[in-house]
Amino acid sequence: MSIDLASFTPVRSLAGGLLIGLASAVLYAGAGRIAGISGIAAGLLPRSPSDERAWRALFTVGLLATSALIAGFAPSMFSSPTASLATVVLGGLLVGVGTRLANGCTSGHGVCGLSRRSPRSLASVLTFMFCAGVTVLLTAPHGAAR
């Protein structure tokens, strides 16, 4: 293992993290809701068993509108996955099924759950981080061969 200093962006990544934390704090302290993206997306789908679509829809509108603004001014903040389209679809399906079974993803379990000191979230984060790391390792060139 070596640290990739050329790619390391400590200031921007920390600033972005602080903003994500602020977003989660505003929703939790203001509206009493968990800013978990997989749960918010699932709750907007047709025939979802969840109630209260309104706040989820507004959160999503805020997220998409701001993303569009940023993509307009700074398109380099986005890049496309390098995986093949078939892999992308498989990955999307695994992320959807997995986060719904686990009832959370990087935001709900990672940011909110760890901040809430939830044992379930800690177990989830350790599991998905480990499995993601092993997957990257097995799918060179991103992994060992880099």
Q: Are 61 and 68 in contact (CB under 8 A)?
A: no
Q: CB of residue 58 vs another protein: minimum separation in angstroms?
A: 4
x/- map, 120-139, another protein, by CB under 8 A: x--xxx-xxxxxxxxxxx-x
Q: CB of residue 126 vs another protein: minimum separation in angstroms?
A: 8
- Scanning residues 26 to 65, which ones bind another protein (CB under 8 A)? 26-35, 37-38, 41-42, 45-49, 54-56, 58-65
* Sign of CA pseudo-dihedral 81, 84, 101, 63: positive
Q: CB of residue 145 vs another protein: minimum separation in angstroms?
A: 7
Q: CB of residue 73 vs another protein: minimum separation in angstroms?
A: 10
- Scanning residues 55 to 114, which ones bind another protein (CB under 8 A)? 55-56, 58-68, 70-71, 74-75, 77-83, 85, 87-107, 109-112, 114
Number of residues that bind another protein (CB under 8 A): 118
- Scanning residues 5 to 24, which ones bind another protein (CB under 8 A)? 7-10, 12-24
Using CB atoms within 10 A of its CB, is residue 23 exposed (0-12), middle (13-18) or buried (19+)?
middle
- What's the rounded Cα separation, in Å, for the pair 105 and 24? 14
Question: Closest Cα to residue 31, out of 2, 52, 3?
Answer: 52
Structure token digits, residue 1: 């293992």
Question: Closest Cα to residue 111, out of 94, 100, 98, 124?
Answer: 124
